[in-house]
Amino acid sequence: MSGAGTPGIRPPTPGVRPIRKLLVANRGEIAVRVIRAAHERGIRTVAVYSDADRTALHVRGAYEAYRLGPAAPGESYLRVDRILEACEATGADALHPGYGFLAENAKLAEALAAKGITFVGPSPHAMRAMGDKVSARKTVADSGVPLVPGAELPEPGNEAAVKQAAEAVGFPLLVKASAGGGGKGMRLVRELGGVVEAVKRAASEAKTAFGDETVYLERFVEGPRHVEIQVIADAHGNTVALGERECSVQRRHQKVIEETPSPVVTPELRAKMEAAAVAAAESCGYLGAGTVEFLVGADGGFYFLEMNTRIQVEHPITEERYGVDLVAEQLRIAEGHPLSFGTKAPTPRGHAIEARICAEDADAGFLPSAGRLGPIQLPGGPGVRCDGAVYTGQDVTLHYDNLLLKLIVRAEDRPSAIARLRRALYETRLPGITTNIPLLLRTLDDPRFVSGDYDTSLLDDAAPAAPDPEDVLPAIAAAVARHRRVAKRSFGPEAPAAGGLSPWVAAGRRRSLGGGL
């Protein structure tokens, strides 16, 4: 990316509102990804940043940058008022939310619309309909989309009502938070005696994580696979499905490795799931890129799980297999253009896999890792793609999600894609911190993964058992201490440093001399 020069002005098209300046309301690799797509379309970009991200790659790649506030997300990236201020101050006429943070915040979309600013995403109505899992189930039910048996809990504190609802759903079952995701506010219950306590704990966790303690019950599908369908819809009546992504390699409900096509989805099953996904999207008048997630049982039955009303972390493998730039399509749709490929998905080719490289130590109970990156080395070669925002000299902190890099490969078939990903992982060097690359390599060599015969329990025993608390506490303390040292060195108070220089200037000169940036 380059911040130099001025994008060319595209001629006006009837019925189209061109985006001139796009504010990217996110950070990290997705912000870099969106900025690149915008620049290719001749759109000027605005980055936003917290104090912790002042020298981040997305800030350097944009044409302009606007400070939101301190490092804590609640004081920066989650501040709707500050995001709106940034739009007004920079003259941005559109906003792309990326994923996470405010990506599925209907209030932000409404506030932007009131100011005449284009939101690159679905309508507030669609976000509300699909953002709450209970509401989403109701929305898609009339469209014939198959649902896992479940029950609402209008009185979660009423023990008798909770037990009655649980018996109606059947065991085993999941207690799930209505809002949010990522495994928070979720409990597996195998017998009636544990359901009341599970509901209390899930509701408490959901309230802390999402500000909403609403939970519901859902039958647990034994031996499930997590398979999602990519959909994209324009304002011209076209809603198209772009195949499936197998997302069953998970740790605590967080995806680790994704692939397309799924090793177990037949052409017949794919057609049914794509039709259901399109029906789910059309049930709420969806616009833009979104993902409909399903559970696939061992018997081949599939059930609606939820819909993510945003671009997904794992969208690159769909791009690689179908030859479509999904972020560019989002921008086209927001401007009023129809889908670039028409009413039918392009012909898919080959097999694509993505591995998420995170700053954590899988061999020490997945403790987070913080520190300064030394000279990094990223893999290359045919069919290898790296989506990230890492650079030599970068300070990796504990303030945000620990995803560092997405490594994506494509090959003619699945065995070749696995071999290519393994080679690319061995080539990757991120010195200065600990990553989960050893876990990823072990997973690729696991006979269950190699055969394709795996489900969401694959990683349950892939990492060593959690260490004894007495051993963990010193390690956590050391990680926190290191994080604080990095924070103080990188974005502490702007008090005069030795020689009268501010810490910002002094740090910049040190990095320049050392080639750190």
Residue 378: exposure state from Cβ atoms within 10 A (0-12, 13-18, ≥19)? middle
Cβ neighbours for 158, distance < 8 A, ≥ 6 positions apart = none
Question: 207 in helix, strand or coil?
Answer: helix
Structure tokens at 290: 């979104």
Q: How far apart are CA 150 and CA 135, in angstroms?
A: 13
Known catalytic membership, residue 321: no
Q: How far apart are CA 70 and CA 183, in angstroms?
A: 27
CA distances for 392 relative to 200, 380, 406, angstroms: 46, 17, 17
Structure tokens at 444: 């690729």
Beta pairing, strands 64-69 & 44-50: parallel
From the list 79, 310, 372, 385, the catalytic residue is 310
| 117-120 long-range Cβ contacts below 8 angstroms, 24+ apart | 117/87, 117/92, 117/93, 118/17, 118/19, 118/93, 118/94, 118/334, 118/335, 119/94, 119/95, 119/334, 120/22, 120/94, 120/95, 120/96, 120/288, 120/330, 120/331, 120/334
Question: 368 in helix, strand or coil?
Answer: strand
Largest CA distance in the chain: 73
Q: Which H, E and C letters describe 140-192, residue by residue?
A: HHCCCCCECCEEECCCCCCHHHHHHHHHHHCCCEEEEECCCCCCCCEEEECCH
Structure tokens at 174: 């999941």
3-state helix vs strand vs coil in the chain, percent to 5: 40, 25, 40
Q: How far apart are CA 464 and CA 468, in angstroms?
A: 12
Helices (H) and strands (E) in the chain, counts: 16, 21
Residue 295: exposure state from Cβ atoms within 10 A (0-12, 13-18, ≥19)? buried
Q: Are 339 and 238 in contact (CB under 8 A)?
A: yes
Question: Which residues are known to be catalytic?
Answer: 310
